[in-house]
C-alpha cells in the first residue's frame, strides 16, 4: 500500500466523522422555528470556513517544519511509495494528517461541548441543560493545553535516550490527557464557587462543572491517573518515584480543600509552574539523564517561565477570586505589581537561557513575545484587570508558536550532539 492510499483512507474517515459530528452539534443548537434550516446552514458555513483557515495555517507549519526535518535527514520516504509532488521538501502525502485534523477535530470539539436541546433534556437548578461527565471531563481537561505537559516529558526523554520505547509512549499519553484531566478537573471541582462568577468559564478556558459531577470527576481523575503512575514508577527508580510524587502532590495540593496552595501567594505560582516542569523532570529521571549545570539552568528558566505564566493568568481573575475570598498572587499583590512580576520573570527566564550550552541560548529570544504581550498592561489597575483576558488568550496561542521554535532548536540539538 502506498502512502497516498493510506492517507486517503485516513482523510475519508476524518471527513465522514467531521461532517456527522458538525451536523449533529450545530443542528442541536438551533431553534425549532421555520428558520432552522437557514440558521443551520449559517452555523455550518462558519464552521467550515474556520476549519479551512485552520488547515491553511497547518499547511504552512507542516511545509516549513517537515522541510527542515527532511533537509536535516531525520527521516526520508521511499520514492516508490509517494507521488513525488512536494511542497518545499515535504511530500504532498504529509499534508493528509493536518487535513484530517482540520476536518474531524473541530466537529468533535463542538459535539462534545454542545448544549443539548429538546424536550428530553434535563435542566439543572439554573435552567441550563445538564451535561454528561465525559463531555465535561473533556472540556475540563483543557485540550488546547494538553501539549504543554506532554511535550516537556517527551522532549526530555527522547533527547536523552534517542529512541522511542513503550515508556516514552506511555509517559507521553499520561501527560497528554490523564494528567491534565486531574490537574484541571480537580481545580474545576474545588473552584466552583469562584467559577460561577467568572465569565471565562464554560468554554476553552475551563468547564463550569455542575455539583452533581464533582464526585464523579474526582473518581475519574483518580482511576485514569493511578495506573499510569504505577507503570511509570515501575519503569523507573527512586529518582522517578520522587519526581512522580512531587508532580502528583502538586496537582492535588494546588486546588484540593485543606491544602489549597492556589490561595498562598507566590506558592501558588510555584506550584503551578511545577505542573509543567515536573513532567520534564520525570522524563529525565526515566531516561537516566545526568543533571549538569547547564540542564539545571534550563530547568530553572522553564520554572521562571511557568511562574510568570501563572501570575499573569491570575490577574484577569482578580474580581471573581476576591468575591470568592480566594487569595491568589494577583489578589494580594494587586494587578499592577503582578503584571510587572510576570514581565521580570519572563525576562530572567530569557537571560538564564543565555547561560545554557549551545543551542540553548537561541531560546532566549522566545521570551520576547511573552514580554511584549504582557508589557502593555504594565500600569493595569485592579478595576481593569479583567481586560487582560485579551492578552491571556494570545498567550495560549503564543505557546504553539514557541513550541514550534523550541522544536527547531531541539532538532538542532539532536544533530549537534554525537
Output DSSP code: residue 129.
B
pLDDT of residue 119: 36
Task: Retrieve residue 108's grid coordinates.
Answer: 468533535
User: Which are the contacts of 125, defined by CB distance < 8 A and separation ≥ 6?
Assistant: none
Q: What is the pLDDT of residue 88?
A: 83
Residue 373 to residue 309: CA distance in whole angstroms: 11
By CB atoms closer than 10 A (0-12, 13-18, 19+), residue 136 is buried
- Note the pTM of the prediction, 2 decimals: 0.76
Residue 26, pLDDT score: 57
DSSP string, 262-288: GGSTTHHHHHHHHHHHHHHHHHHHHTT
Long-range contacts of 373-381 (CB under 8 A, 24+ apart): 373/398, 374/308, 374/312, 374/339, 374/342, 374/343, 374/346, 375/343, 377/315, 377/335, 377/339, 378/336, 378/339, 378/340, 378/343, 379/336, 380/315, 380/335, 380/336, 380/339, 381/335, 381/336
- How much is the pLDDT for 352? 96
What is the pLDDT, as a whole number, of residue 123? 47
Look at residue 417 in the predicted model and tell me its pLDDT. 67
Give pLDDT < 70 ranges for the chain. 1-2, 24-44, 73-75, 109, 111-131, 198-207, 417-418
pLDDT value of position 226: 96
Per-residue pLDDT at 39: 52
The answer to whether 179 touches 143, Cβ cutoff 8 Å, is no
Biggest CA–CA distance in the chain, Å, is 69
pLDDT digits (tens, 9 = 90+) for 33-81: 444 445 555 566 777 787 788 788 888 888 887 787 777 766 677 777 7
- Per-residue pLDDT, 208: 76
Amino acid at each position: 500500500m502506498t502512502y497516498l492510499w493510506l492517507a486517503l483512507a485516513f482523510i475519508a474517515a476524518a471527513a465522514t466523522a467531521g461532517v456527522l459530528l458538525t451536523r449533529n452539534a450545530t443542528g442541536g443548537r438551533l431553534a425549532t422555528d421555520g428558520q432552522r434550516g437557514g440558521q443551520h446552514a449559517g452555523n455550518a458555513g462558519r464552521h467550515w470556513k474556520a476549519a479551512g483557515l485552520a488547515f491553511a495555517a497547518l499547511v504552512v507549519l507542516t511545509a516549513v517544519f517537515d522541510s527542515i526535518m527532511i533537509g536535516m535527514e531525520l527521516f526520508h520516504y521511499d520514492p516508490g511509495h509517494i507521488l513525488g509532488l512536494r511542497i518545499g521538501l515535504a511530500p504532498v502525502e504529509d499534508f493528509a494528517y493536518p487535513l484530517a485534523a482540520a476536518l474531524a477535530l473541530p466537529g468533535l470539539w463542538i459535539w462534545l461541548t454542545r448544549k443539548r436541546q429538546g424536550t428530553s433534556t434535563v435542566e439543572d437548578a439554573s435552567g441550563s441543560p445538564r451535561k454528561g461527565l465525559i463531555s465535561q471531563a473533556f472540556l475540563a481537561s483543557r485540550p488546547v493545553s494538553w501539549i504543554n505537559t506532554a511535550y516537556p516529558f517527551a522532549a526530555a526523554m527522547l533527547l536523552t535516550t534517542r529512541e522511542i520505547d513503550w515508556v516514552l509512549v506511555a509517559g507521553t499519553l499520561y501527560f497528554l490527557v490523564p494528567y491534565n484531566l486531574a490537574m484541571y478537573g480537580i481545580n474545576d471541582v474545588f473552584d466552583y464557587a469562584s467559577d460561577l462568577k467568572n465569565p471565562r468559564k464554560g468554554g476553552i478556558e475551563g468547564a463550569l462543572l455542575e455539583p452533581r459531577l464533582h464526585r464523579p470527576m474526582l473518581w475519574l481523575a483518580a482511576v485514569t491517573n493511578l495506573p499510569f503512575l504505577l507503570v511509570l514508577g515501575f519503569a523507573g527508580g527512586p529518582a522517578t518515584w520522587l519526581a512522580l510524587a512531587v508532580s502528583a502532590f502538586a496537582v492535588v495540593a494546588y486546588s484540593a480543600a485543606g491544602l489549597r496552595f492556589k490561595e498562598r501567594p507566590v506558592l501558588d505560582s510555584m506550584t503551578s509552574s511545577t505542573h509543567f516542569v515536573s513532567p520534564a523532570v520525570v522524563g529525565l529521571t526515566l531516561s537516566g539523564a545526568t543533571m549538569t549545570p547547564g540542564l539545571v539552568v534550563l530547568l530553572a528558566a522553564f520554572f521562571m517561565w511557568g511562574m510568570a505564566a501563572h501570575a499573569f493568568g491570575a490577574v484577569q481573575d482578580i474580581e471573581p477570586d476576591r468575591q470568592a475570598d480566594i487569595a491568589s498572587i494577583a489578589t494580594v499583590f494587586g494587578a499592577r505589581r503582578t503584571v510587572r512580576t510576570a514581565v521580570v520573570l519572563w525576562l530572567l527566564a530569557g537571560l538564564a537561557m543565555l547561560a545554557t550550552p549551545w543551542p540553548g541560548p537561541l531560546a532566549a529570544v522566545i521570551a520576547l513575545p511573552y514580554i511584549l504581550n504582557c508589557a502593555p498592561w504594565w500600569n493595569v489597575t485592579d478595576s481593569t484587570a479583567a481586560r487582560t483576558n485579551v492578552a491571556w488568550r494570545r498567550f495560549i496561542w503564543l505557546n504553539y508558536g514557541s513550541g514550534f521554535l523550541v522544536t527547531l532548536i531541539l532538532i538542532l540539538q539532536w544533530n549537534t550532539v554525537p
